[in-house]
Amino acid sequence: MDKSRILFLVPLPPPVHGSAMVSQAIRNSTRINRSFQTDYVNLSTSRKMNEIGKHCVKKIFRFFGAFSKMMYKLLFHRWDACYLAITCHGIGFLKDVPFVALCKWFSPKVILHLHNKGLSKEVYRWPYRWLMPWIFRHTEVILLSERLYSDVASVVRPEQVHICPNGLSSPVDIKEVSHSSVPHLLFLSNLIESKGVYVLLDACQILKDKGYSFICDFVGGETKEITRRHLEEEISQRGLEEYVVYHGPQYGEAKELFFQKADIFVQPTFEDCFPLTLVEAMQHGLPVVSTDEGAIPDMIVDGENGFVCPRREVNGLVNAFEKLLTNNELRKQMSKNARFRYKERYTLDAFEKTFQQILSEILN
């Protein structure tokens, strides 16, 4: 029996972000690539984190290079389906429109995998109000959580939707988390305001003023929104020089070391979908303090493997930190719960099985 042929149009790293990491996992998956005849086109026009959101000549050439490669593959090969990991809002959506349009012309089935949200904020604006309904019409849509359906409900019918949570492979050697005399909080993200950088700094200031002992490690790259200099100025203004340390971007073994010495993971995001850093934290048995944003309440069960706080609310973060900083037994129990939840729901194997099943259902 001939295998179904699928053309994958996906962003691949670098830079490293959620959609690119999942796309790379699909490309490297033995299970998926043995189940179907596959080929790949890299849609990423950025090669560095600081290129995202910027306009440059190199990105234009990369765009037309990817489009030309896709057109060649569509013209000279037959595909049973085209899979696209697209951006569902803003300039990123407009950039993806030509790719989806051509796939809809040549392929009997188009599968759109959404790793972000924001469609509902723009669907009634020009030109999105007529582009979005057309792009999503007669497609299959993969969402990361049922909680995210409300964002696309105006243009996607329930019967089009498939749910597939992301997953990550476990590091080769996960050490037991050690709780030092001075607890370490870990914030792992590029410096973006919507990730809750300033909210976290305000919470740290309150904890300091209350007399708590802690270190908050900031790990992630600078951005045009928040540079190293700006972050360090904010730290200084709050008198947090002895409490908050910025380490810049860290990868591989260096990043692993920060997970191993951390006691609590924190990401007070207020604009997110399915942060893979939370899955990494659960891998390492870290209690997670985050917000009721996107699919996070699916990932973090409030009071079980962490705390889910209201977005932009400093006091909610402070209350969660106080419970964890003053109760070692609670931290240990949440650590066990976090690791169990990862193994139960968010491994790479679980993702591959669900993803393969969805593709098979669509193609059959």
Q: What is the pTM of this model?
A: 0.91
Q: What is the mean pLDDT of residues 306-333?
A: 97
- For residue 265, the model assigns a pLDDT of 98
Q: What is the mean pLDDT of residues 105-117?
A: 96
Give the distance, in angstroms, between the CA of residue 251 and the centroid of all CA atoms in the same chain. 16
CA distance 8 to 341: 30
Instruction: Enter the DSSP assignment of 227.
Output: -
152: CB partners within 8 A, 6+ apart? 88, 114, 119, 120, 136, 141, 143
Q: What is the mean pLDDT of residues 9-33?
A: 91
Banded model confidence at residue 14, pLDDT cuts 50, 70, 90: confident
Task: Give the number of residues written for the chain.
Answer: 364
- For residue 250, the model assigns a pLDDT of 94
90: CB partners within 8 A, 6+ apart? 118, 122
Query: Bigger pLDDT: 173 or 102?
Result: 102
- For residue 177, the model assigns a pLDDT of 45
- Determine how many CB atoms are found less than 10 A away from the CB of residue 55: 9
CA atoms within 13 A on the CB side of 295: 23
- For residue 56, the model assigns a pLDDT of 75
Region label for 10, one of left (φ > 0), alpha (ψ between -120 and 50) or beta (otherwise):
beta
Give the distance, in angstroms, between the CA of residue 276 and the centroid of all CA atoms in the same chain. 5
- For residue 58, the model assigns a pLDDT of 85
With 80 as the cut, is the pLDDT of residue 178 above it? no
| Percent above pLDDT 90 for the chain | 88
Quick check: 298 and 186 in contact, CB under 8 A? Answer: no
CA distance 153 to 112: 15
Q: What is the mean pLDDT of residues 69-77?
A: 96
The pLDDT tens digits of the residues spanning 239-288 come to: 999 999 999 999 889 999 999 999 999 999 999 999 999 999 999 999 99
Give the distance, in angstroms, between the CA of residue 360 and the centroid of all CA atoms in the same chain. 25
93: CB partners within 8 A, 6+ apart? 86, 87, 119, 122, 128, 131, 132
Q: What is the mean pLDDT of residues 314-329?
A: 97
Buried b / exposed e over 295-305, threshold 16 CB at 10 Å, is bbebbbeeeeb
CA distance 49 to 33: 29
Output the six-digit token pair for 321.
């930190």
| Percent above pLDDT 70 for the chain | 95
CA distance 230 to 224: 10
The pLDDT tens digits of the residues spanning 25-50 come to: 999 999 999 999 999 999 987 766 55
Mean of pLDDT over the chain: 93
